[in-house]
Each structure stands twice: as C-alpha cells, then as structure tokens.
C-alpha cells in the first residue's frame, strides 16, 4: 500500500480571468525550468533519526543499516511493488523440484567499487559470511538458517543448497539486509568491514564520522541497476551527506528551512504542516511484515482463555487511539500481515473491530463476573490485570497509544498496567515470558513472517538464551503445517491459499492487538527530485535522485 | 589539597630540600588516591552492570525483532567472554585494563579507545565553554547587583534563582526555537564551527551560572561585612577596587569548589543537550552503552569521566591557593 502524498496545489483562482492568466504564465515559465529532467552532479543532504552501529547489513541487522546498505549494495534479485521477484545481480535462476537447490546464472559484467569482480565465488563468500556465527548476524542470518553451501561449477553459475525447502528464499534475498559485498572486504575483521564496507552499488562509502554523518560518493562505473529503478547507468548525484539528527523537531525544522534535502521519520505532529508547505512533499509507504502490535501471552492466565483474548481485542478502540495520538495520520493495520506484504488479506479485519458489548459478554461467559469499586473485573478474588512492559526505546507515541488502549479497556473491566522499562530490562521481561501483552513488530518482505512470529518453531530453541520470536506463545499444529507447507511450493496461487488460511487462524485466535503498520515517512524539500522508496522493505533509495539548487 | 603547594611552590620562591621531599610525598599520595578512585569506579561499574537485569548479547544482537541462530548466540557469548563466571570476567577485564587495554565495545563494534577518541573532543569543548560562560555570567550578575540598589539586588537575585531552576533540555528546546529556527542566528544541529557551540553552551551554562551566582552572592555579602573591607574603604579605595581586589577573593572560594562538582554533573546533563543539538560527544555514547549493557564501553567512559573529575578537583585546589594566599602561608 504505497501512498505518495503530493504537496497541495496552490489555492484555486476564483475568477476566470485569473485562471487564464495563471495558465498562460505557466506555459511560458515551464520550458525555462526544463520540466523535470534529471540533473547530473551536486550533493544531497539526507537526515535520519537513528545511526547504525555497523554499516555492513549482514552484522546484527537493524533498520538503519538497511537504509545505508541500499545506497552502496546491490542484491542478488529484485522485488517489485506487487511482490514479484525479478533479476538483479542474478540474470536468471532455476529451483529444483524438491525446493532445496537454487541454481543462479549471474551477471558477468559487474565490479565492486574496489575493482574486484562480482562472480559466483563472491556470492558464495556473502552467503557464507551471513551464515557464519562469528558475523553476529541476527536478521540476514536468521532469514537463511536453511542455507547449507554454495558450489561454483563455473565462474558465473552458483548452485545454492538448502537444508529444507524454503520458498521465501528469493524474497529475503531481495532485501537490502542480504546486500552483496566484496569478498576481500568481508574477509577483514568485523570492525573494519563495519566501518568501510564495499559493494557494487550506485554509491560508495567514503567516510563515517560517528554521531555526525556518513559521506557517500557516486560509483562512476555503476552498471547494475535493478529493473525496478527509473534509470540505468551511474547515479545522478555526486555525493550524499547522510546526517544523524535524533531530535524530531530539529530534523523537521532543518528540512523546512532547506538546510537538508530529505528527512526520514517525519514527526506525526509535523505532517499536516508539511502538506501545507509548498516547499515540501511527503513520501509515505507502509513496510511489509507483521504490523506493530501487542503480542498477547497465551501461555499464562488470563490470556490462556481465548474468550479473554477476544474480549481484550474487542475492548481496545484502536482507530480512535491512533487518531488522537498520530493526528489522524496513521491507519489501523488490516490484519496480521501489513497490506504491503505479498499474500496479505484484509478479509479478517472485522475480527479486530472495537465491540465493547461483545467484550463484556465474553468476560461474563469466561467467569470474570465480579467487579470491584473501580469497575475492574474479578474472578476467584483475583483482579483482571494485564501487565504491559513498554521499552523506552519504543518512543513516546507508542506509550501514548497504549495509554489510550488502557483507557478504553478499563471500560470493560480490564486493569491495564503499563510498565515503562529500559531496553535491557524490557528484553529480560520478554525473554522470561513475564508479560501479558508486549508491544512488537517485524519488518520483512515475505508472508513467511507468520511462521517467525507465530509458529511453534520460534518459541525459543535450545541454546537461544530466552530468544523467542513467537511472543504470543501460540502453539497450533494446523497453523504450523500451513506455514511450513507454504515454503514447499513455488506456485504463487498455492502459496496465496495457504497463507490465507494461516491468516484466518491467526485472526480467529486473537493473538495480537493490531495497531498500525510500520511505515517509512520521508519529507522532501523542493531541491530534491526523484527520491524513491524501493519496494522490498520501503527503504529510501537515492539512486534515481537528483538535486536542483 | 596536597598538590597545591607543589604547583604554587616555585612562585613562592626558593625551595628547601625537605620541602621538595614533602611535596613529592604529597604528589605521590595524591596520584595513589587517584588510581584507587579509578580502580573503585571501574569495579563498581562492572558489578553494577552485572546486577542489572538483562543480557548484553540479546541487546547487541538486535533485541526483540531479531532471529539469531543458537550458534550465533553462542559465538557472541564466547567472543564477549560472558561464558566465564563474573569473578573470572572481572579478573580478565582488570588485568587487561592494568595493561592499558580498554577492550572492544560490544555494541559499537570498535575498540573502546577509538570510540572515546572520536567523541571526547566535542564533549570537553562543550564542558569547558559551559564552565567559562557560567562563571562570566555569574560574576557579572553578582558583582553588578550585590549590595546595590534594593531593586537591582532583587532583580539579580531573582534571575539567579530562576536560571538555577531551569531544566537543561527545556532550555535547549527554547533556545533552539528562538535563536535557531526563529532568528536563524545559530545552526540548530551539528558541531562544526564556533557558532554551533553557542546554544548548547548556553543550555548548560545558564542553570550552572544560577547556582554559582547564588553561592557567590552569599559569600560576597559576608565578605563585604568583614572589617578588612571597612579598612580598605577608609584607605580611600574605590568601590570597584574594594569589590574586585579584596571582597571577590573571599567570595569565589565556594564557587570554585562547586565548579569541580559541576564538571562531573555536566557530563550527565550533556546527554540530553548532545541529542537535542545532534552534537558528537561522550554523553550520547555513555547513554547508549548503558542501555545496551556494553560493559567495556560503559567502564571506559566512566573512567574518563572520573579522571576529568579528579583533574578538576586538583585544579580547584590549585585555584584556591592562587586566589587565597592565606592557604599558602598556612602550608609553609
């Protein structure tokens, strides 16, 4: 669901004469501006809120890393806005019948910015690097745990073997987190490659001043743009200054004054101002994956009872909460998959609708019939208390949102206890299942996210030190079978059907309080043109961008 | 105050052999005390981090929305040495520290010494300019209004009380709104150039100036009541000379002590100011290190802050003697 909010047109002229005058004026001026022809050269200043801790997206794997990686790496395959996989550094590929062997034919004319050649050995080096435990890869590495080995029968053919069928493999390969880097650069110690990674992309990393900015320069030999790009050949910009401005009001003011050309994460309170300002344009797109939600802990009372889970979901007025916290700028998520995810369906949205009458009936039925002086329901002398740990890293908006949910849930007799915690303490509560609801989200470009956040495989493997991605503790054999079967077929229609059924099970088991889809929200000053969000994770790409200053 | 005589000694004239000896002993004991304080601060920080709930490996491997394989988790635990019992980790860390190795930051993925080297400059610059500006403002207010016209005195005193109560982050946002976004006199972010130092300095210096002025005003009032002031006046000295040459010497002493404490607290307050003004600096580094339970980086920055504090106390003691000759006489 990509929505491109163009700036508002100037006030409409009220008299015919004025319109005619304006129209003729416009025709005379337009050619002088050269329409919107890309201009080569210049520097674009981009300001974001969060700084990566490593510029190599294989290591760890947090969103700020993929934003910078998208500028200097190419991926093996591309993904368009309909979720279709296309070529990129791989020209073509075949998948074996058992779904475990992928044979890639690679481009033979691509070089890394250090002069090294891209070939099958380079692909092998990258997949091995991502899989290597010493890389400390938690996103890219997590997505290819099925990877076994790569063989290179000739220089530009790579045969990749997986331990089990994994139809989401091509999808995750299209993410910037699995961007392709130069083998000799990857061979250096991790801290060096974090500082100055090397890709085949349209820009190259020149310098990183921590807590200040990253400088990137154009790769003059770039010849490997994906089919989703608006042009081919080298990028237009000479240079990108990638600044870190954590304070939202400062970031927005810097954009409004033209000190920076593009900002990421436009503060919600400034979006209306941005739309009114003729110098600014907003580019907003949802990210694919599991939307922001409160995962409901089904492993302990009171939410081990599905009636109590449904009652909570029904007693939370999400739409009103979003309107008040985000000034009407954020819409409710349509289901367990954000609309930008392949195979997402909005068909089960009404299961998440606000319905306090139904919530009250369900709670009565579940035996929570007593009420104390404050209207909190009780059963066997125990109050209906819901503990919700909220990390300080989740930001004030998320906190306000849950305060709103708290306020509507008390109407049906839930005592929602919001517990603000520091990062590590919050992680500890998550790891030890010590919560009734915990706010979370998962950005990824495949419906396979359902398996990660809700299947029994992700309840915390041995040796995972408390890590569990399935925060609701949901354990359902039918659901597990569906999401695993969806990995065994490459047929899109078969996958659609399986994921449809899987989404139905998730929605009707009331496992998450769905709030809003994660999104990328750029503010663009009039000096910057051609700024885009790539389709796989809605990440900024400045390859097609140019500046007019 | 043992280092005081050493530094002030040469100015005092010839030094006897025994005085050099006792001075040497004082320096030695002061250095030993400093080493002990550094050792204690590293130890306390180490165990405090171990007692906080949570797990640095989870924090470094991406927290909630991450899916590291058990092999990756095991490799990371081993790399950080967290598979050892805490007392062994402590021993290893301390022995490395003794050889001058601050170790590798868990979360920043580079040597602690490099992280500190890249960020210490802007922080020290900000602290130094905040202290200087705070003193200038405090002295201006105190000297101009203490024991003057009651209205003037009331105004000075009220301004000092108000500025001492201003929260730094609020002040920072107000300064930004007026002077960066409104008047556009100063850049709203970054740490390039002298202009970018002005607003963050004021955000830190104004509340501190309020504190310094309050204590200085009180002691200036006391000093102005002393008999020696009366005698200076009877000798026909001008009001300016009485205040600046005689009374001020007495009045600044509590403020100097307070400044040493202020240096320590400025680092803490620098976190917010650095974030709001997007400045490089150790405050932000320390905040991130603590939230990620990044033991080597937290201890590294803590040690540096402790060292700055020790040096600031020494400098305060030195200033004491320079300002107040009675101390020098007392020592010898």
Q: Distance from B209 to chain A by nearest Cα, in Å? A: 26
Question: Is the separation of the CB atoms in A120 and A170 below 8 Å?
Answer: no
Mean pLDDT of A431-441: 95
Phi, psi angle pair for A19, to nearest 5°: -65, -45
Question: Cβ separation of B68 and A425 shorter than 8 Å?
Answer: no
Question: Is the separation of the CB atoms in B174 and B180 below 8 Å?
Answer: no
Two tokens at A455?
């299947």
At B21, is the pLDDT very low, low, confident or very high (cuts 50, 70, 90)?
A: confident
| DSSP annotation of A326 | T
B158: Cα within 13 Å, side-chain hemisphere: 6
Question: Cβ separation of B110 and A452 shorter than 8 Å?
Answer: no
Q: What is A442-485 written as a DSSP string? A: EE-SSTTHHHHHHSGGGS--TTSTT--S-TT----HHHHHHHHH
Alpha-carbon gap, residue B332 to A36, rounded angstroms = 82
Residue A86's DSSP bridge partners are A78
- Is the pLDDT confidence value at B157 over 50? yes
Q: Kindly list the residues from chain B whose CB atom is less than 8 angstroms away from the CB atom of residue A212.
A: 190-191, 278, 280
pLDDT digits (tens, 9 = 90+) for A119-137: 999 999 999 999 999 999 9
CB pairs under 8 A between A and B: 172
Sign of the C-alpha dihedral, residues A380, A381, A385, A387?
A: negative
Report yes or no: B105 at the A interface, CB cutoff 8 Å: no
Q: What is the pLDDT of residue A29?
A: 38
Alpha-carbon gap, residue B177 to B212, rounded angstroms = 27
Q: Would you tell me which residues 268-287 of chain B have a C-beta closer than 8 angstroms to some C-beta of chain A?
A: 274-281, 284-285
At B17, is the pLDDT very low, low, confident or very high (cuts 50, 70, 90)?
A: low
Q: What is the pLDDT of residue A31?
A: 38
Mean pLDDT of B30-49: 93
- Is the pLDDT confidence value at B328 over 70? no
Q: Which of B173, B278, B292 sits opposite A246 (nearest CB)?
A: B278
Question: Cβ separation of A424 and B53 shorter than 8 Å?
Answer: yes
Task: List the single range of A96-105, A180-189, B241-250 with lowest mean pLDDT.
Answer: B241-250
Q: What is the pLDDT of residue A189?
A: 95
Q: What is the pLDDT of residue A27?
A: 37
Q: What is the pLDDT of residue B19?
A: 65
Q: Kindly list the residues from chain A whose CB atom is less than 8 angstroms away from the CB atom of residue B280.
A: 209-212
Peptide bond connecting A19 to the previous residue in cis, omega within 30 degrees of 0:
no
pTM of the complete model: 0.89
Question: Cβ separation of B291 and A393 shorter than 8 Å?
Answer: yes
Alpha-carbon gap, residue A542 to A69, rounded angstroms = 11
Between B97 and B22, residue with greater pLDDT: B97
| DSSP annotation of A488 | S
Residues 6+ apart with CB under 8 A from A520: A264, A283, A284, A285, A287, A533, A538, A539, A540
Q: A457: nearest CA in chain B?
A: B67
Between A13 and B253, residue with greater pLDDT: B253
Q: What is the pLDDT of residue B326?
A: 72
Alpha-carbon gap, residue A70 to A444, rounded angstroms = 15
Alpha-carbon gap, residue A322 to A336, rounded angstroms = 17
Report yes or no: B82 at the A interface, CB cutoff 8 Å: no
pLDDT digits (tens, 9 = 90+) for A367-418: 999 999 999 999 999 999 999 999 988 888 999 999 999 999 999 999 999 9
User: What whole-number percentage of chain A has pLDDT above 70?
Assistant: 93
At A18, is the pLDDT very low, low, confident or very high (cuts 50, 70, 90)?
A: very low
Q: Identify the helix (H) or strand (E) that includes residue A547.
A: strand A546-547
Q: Distance from B53 to chain A by nearest Cα, in Å? A: 5
- Is the pLDDT confidence value at B145 over 50? yes
Q: A62: nearest CA in chain B?
A: B62
Mean pLDDT of B305-314: 90
Q: Kindly list the residues from chain B whose CB atom is less than 8 angstroms away from the CB atom of residue A273.
A: none
Report yes or no: B180 at the A interface, CB cutoff 8 Å: yes
Q: What is the distance, to the nearest Å, from the Cα of residue A138 to the centroid of all Cα atoms in its chain?
A: 15
A396: Cα within 13 Å, side-chain hemisphere: 7
- Is the pLDDT confidence value at A30 over 70? no
Task: List the single range of A443-457, B3-17, B128-142 with lowest mean pLDDT.
Answer: B3-17
| A59-79 per-residue burial string, b: 16 or more CB within 10 A, e: under 16 | bbbbbbbbbbbbbbbbbbbbb
Q: What is the pLDDT of residue B190?
A: 86
Residue A88: strand, helix, or coil: coil
Two tokens at B102?
């601050």
Q: What is the pLDDT of residue B89?
A: 94
Q: B104: nearest CA in chain A?
A: A191
Q: Which of A243, A422, A463 sits opposite B73 (nearest CB)?
A: A463
Question: Is the separation of the CB atoms in A132 and A119 below 8 Å?
Answer: no
At B327, is the pLDDT very low, low, confident or very high (cuts 50, 70, 90)?
A: low
If you average pLDDT over every residue of chain B, what do you get?
87
Sign of the C-alpha dihedral, residues A320, A321, A322, A324?
A: positive
- Is the pLDDT confidence value at A269 over 50? yes
- Is the pLDDT confidence value at B191 over 60? yes
B interface mutation test: which of A467, A468, A471, A518 has the most B CBs within 10 A?
Answer: A467
Rg (CA), chain A: 25
Question: Is the separation of the CB atoms in A210 and A51 below 8 Å?
Answer: yes
Task: Give the other-Cβ count within 10 Å of A98's Cβ.
Answer: 10
Q: B176: nearest CA in chain A?
A: A250
Give one word for B103, left, alpha or beta, with left for phi > 0 and alpha for psi -120 to 50: left
Report yes or no: B78 at the A interface, CB cutoff 8 Å: no
Report yes or no: B292 at the A interface, CB cutoff 8 Å: yes
Q: A52: nearest CA in chain B?
A: B108
Q: A438: nearest CA in chain B?
A: B64
Q: What is the pLDDT of residue A332?
A: 96
Two tokens at A218?
């154009």
At B267, is the pLDDT very low, low, confident or very high (cuts 50, 70, 90)?
A: confident
Sign of the C-alpha dihedral, residues A303, A305, A309, A314?
A: negative
Number of H helices, E strands in chain B: 16, 0
Q: Sheet with A377-379: list strands edge to edge.
A: A370-371, A377-379, A382-383
Q: Kindly list the residues from chain B whose CB atom is less than 8 angstroms away from the CB atom of residue A392.
A: 291
Q: What is the distance, to the nearest Å, from the Cα of residue A183 to the centroid of all Cα atoms in its chain?
A: 27
Report yes or no: B182 at the A interface, CB cutoff 8 Å: no
Mean pLDDT of A240-257: 95
Q: Which of A143, A247, A465 sits opposite B55 (nearest CB)?
A: A465
User: What whole-number percentage of chain A has pLDDT above 90?
Assistant: 89
Alpha-carbon gap, residue A102 to A160, rounded angstroms = 5
pLDDT digits (tens, 9 = 90+) for A170-218: 999 999 999 999 999 999 999 999 999 999 999 999 999 999 999 999 9
At B319, is the pLDDT very low, low, confident or very high (cuts 50, 70, 90)?
A: confident
If you average pLDDT over every residue of chain A, what do you get?
92
Q: B115: nearest CA in chain A?
A: A210
Q: Identify the helix (H) or strand (E) that includes residue A439.
A: strand A437-443
Report yes or no: B61 at the A interface, CB cutoff 8 Å: yes
Two tokens at B114?
């490099």
Alpha-carbon gap, residue B186 to B172, rounded angstroms = 13
Mean pLDDT of A228-257: 96
Q: What is the pLDDT of residue B246?
A: 83
Give one word for A368, left, alpha or beta, with left for phi > 0 and alpha for psi -120 to 50: beta
Q: Which of B52, B62, B107 sits opposite A138 (nearest CB)?
A: B62
Sign of the C-alpha dihedral, residues B141, B142, B144, B149?
A: positive
Closest CA to A315 of A427, A445, A439, A406: A406
Question: Cβ separation of A463 and B70 shorter than 8 Å?
Answer: yes
Q: What is the pLDDT of residue A67?
A: 98
Mean pLDDT of A469-485: 97
At B54, is the pLDDT very low, low, confident or very high (cuts 50, 70, 90)?
A: confident
Pairing of strands A213-218, A85-87: unpaired
pLDDT digits (tens, 9 = 90+) for A533-542: 999 999 999 9
- Is the pLDDT confidence value at B10 over 70? no
Long-range contacts of B157-166 (CB under 8 A, 24+ apart): B157/B217, B159/B210, B160/B209, B160/B210, B160/B213, B160/B214, B160/B217, B161/B210, B161/B214, B162/B210, B163/B206, B163/B207, B163/B209, B163/B210, B164/B207, B164/B210, B164/B211, B164/B213, B164/B214, B165/B207, B165/B210, B166/B206, B166/B207, B166/B210
At B16, is the pLDDT very low, low, confident or very high (cuts 50, 70, 90)?
A: low
Q: Which of B104, B187, B275 sits opposite A247 (nearest CB)?
A: B275
Q: Kindly list the residues from chain A whose CB atom is less than 8 angstroms away from the CB atom of residue B49.
A: none
Residues 6+ apart with CB under 8 A from A356: A314, A315, A408, A411, A412
Residue A450's DSSP bridge partners are none
């Amino acid at each position: 669901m990509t929505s491109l909010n163009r700036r508002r047109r100037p006030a409409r002229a009220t008299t015919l004469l004025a319109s005619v005058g304006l129209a003729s004026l416009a025709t005379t001026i337009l050619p002088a501006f050269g329409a919107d022809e890309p201009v080569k050269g210049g520097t674009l200043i981009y300001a974001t809120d969060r700084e990566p801790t490593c510029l190599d997206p294989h290591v760890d794997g947090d969103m700020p890393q993929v934003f910078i990686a998208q500028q200097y790496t190419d991926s093996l395959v591309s993904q368009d806005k309909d979720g279709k996989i296309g070529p990129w550094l791989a020209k073509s590929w075949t998948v074996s019948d058992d779904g475990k062997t992928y044979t890639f034919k690679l481009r033979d004319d691509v070089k890394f910015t250090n002069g090294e050649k891209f070939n099958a050995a380079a692909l092998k080096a990258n997949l091995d690097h991502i899989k290597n435990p010493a890389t400390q890869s938690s996103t890219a590495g997590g997505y290819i745990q099925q990877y076994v080995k790569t063989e290179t029968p000739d220089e530009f053919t790579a045969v990749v073997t997986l331990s089990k069928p994994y139809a989401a493999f091509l999808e995750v390969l299209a993410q910037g987190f699995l961007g392709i880097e130069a083998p000799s650069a990857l061979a250096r110690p991790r801290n060096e490659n974090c500082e100055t990674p090397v890709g085949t992309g349209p820009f190259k990393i020149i310098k990183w001043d921590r807590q200040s900015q990253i400088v990137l320069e154009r790769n003059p030999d770039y010849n490997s743009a994906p089919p989703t790009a608006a042009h081919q050949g080298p990028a237009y910009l000479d240079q990108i200054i990638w600044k870190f401005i954590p304070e939202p009001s400062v970031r927005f003011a810097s954009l409004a004054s033209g000190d920076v050309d593009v900002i990421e994460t436009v503060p919600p309170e400034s979006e209306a101002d941005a739309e009114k300002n003729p110098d600014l344009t907003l580019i907003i797109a949802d990210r694919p994956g599991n939307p922001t939600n409160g995962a409901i802990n089904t492993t302990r009372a009171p939410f081990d009872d599905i009636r109590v889970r449904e009652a909570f979901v029904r007693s939370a007025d999400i739409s009103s909460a979003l309107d008040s916290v985000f000034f009407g700028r954020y819409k409710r998520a349509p289901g367990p998959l954000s609309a930008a995810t392949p195979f997402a369906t909005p068909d089960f949205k009404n299961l998440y609708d606000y319905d306090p009458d139904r919530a009250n009936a369900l709670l009565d039925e579940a035996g929570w019939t007593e009420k104390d002086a404050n209207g909190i329901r009780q059963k066997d002398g125990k109050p209906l208390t819901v503990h919700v740990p909220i990390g300080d890293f989740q930001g004030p908006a998320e906190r306000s949102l849950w305060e709103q949910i708290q306020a509507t849930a008390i109407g049906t007799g839930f005592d929602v206890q919001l517990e603000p915690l520091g990062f590590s303490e919050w992680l500890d509560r998550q790891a030890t299942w010590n919560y009734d609801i915990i706010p979370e989200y998962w950005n990824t470009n495949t419906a396979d996210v359902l398996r990660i956040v809700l299947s029994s495989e992700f309840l915390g493997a041995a040796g995972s030190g408390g890590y569990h991605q399935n925060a609701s503790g949901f354990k359902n054999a039918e659901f597990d079978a569906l999401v695993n079967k969806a990995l065994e077929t490459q047929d899109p229609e078969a996958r659609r059907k399986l994921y449809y059924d899987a989404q139905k099970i998730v929605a009707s088991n009331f496992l998450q309080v769905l709030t809003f889809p994660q999104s990328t929200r750029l503010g663009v000053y009039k000096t910057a043109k051609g700024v885009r969000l790539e389709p796989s994770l809605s990440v900024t790409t400045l390859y097609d961008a140019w500046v007019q200053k | 105050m043992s280092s005081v005589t050493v530094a002030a000694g040469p100015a005092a004239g010839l030094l006897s052999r025994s005085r050099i000896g006792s001075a040497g002993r004082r320096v030695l004991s002061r250095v030993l005390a400093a080493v002990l304080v550094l050792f204690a601060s590293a130890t306390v920080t180490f165990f405090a981090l171990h007692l906080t709930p949570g797990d640095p490996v989870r924090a470094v491997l991406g927290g909630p929305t991450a899916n590291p394989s058990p092999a990756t988790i095991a490799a990371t635990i081993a790399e950080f040495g967290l598979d050892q019992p805490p007392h062994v980790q402590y021993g290893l860390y301390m022995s490395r520290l003794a050889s001058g190795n601050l170790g590798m930051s868990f979360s920043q993925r580079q040597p602690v010494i490099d992280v500190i080297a890249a960020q210490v400059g802007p922080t020290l610059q900000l602290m130094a300019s905040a202290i200087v500006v705070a003193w200038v403002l405090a002295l201006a207010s105190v000297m101009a209004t203490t024991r003057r016209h009651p209205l003037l005195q009331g105004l000075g005193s009220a301004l000092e009380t108000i500025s001492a109560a201003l929260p730094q982050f609020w002040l920072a946002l107000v300064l930004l709104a007026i002077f960066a976004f409104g008047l556009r006199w100063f850049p709203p972010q970054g740490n390039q150039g002298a202009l970018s130092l002005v607003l963050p300095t004021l955000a830190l210096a104004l509340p501190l100036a309020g504190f310094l002025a309050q204590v200085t005003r009180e002691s200036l009032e006391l000093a102005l009541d002393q008999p020696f002031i009366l005698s200076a006046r009877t000798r026909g000295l001008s009001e300016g000379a009485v205040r600046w040459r005689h009374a001020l010497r007495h009045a600044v002493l509590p403020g100097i002590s307070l400044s040493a404490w202020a240096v320590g607290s400025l680092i803490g307050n620098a976190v917010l100011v650095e974030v709001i003004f997007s400045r490089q600096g150790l405050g932000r580094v320390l905040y991130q290190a603590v939230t990620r339970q990044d033991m080597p980086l937290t201890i590294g920055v803590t040690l540096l802050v402790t060292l700055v504090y020790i040096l600031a106390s020494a400098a305060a003691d030195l200033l004491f003697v320079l300002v107040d000759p009675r101390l020098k006489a007392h020592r010898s």
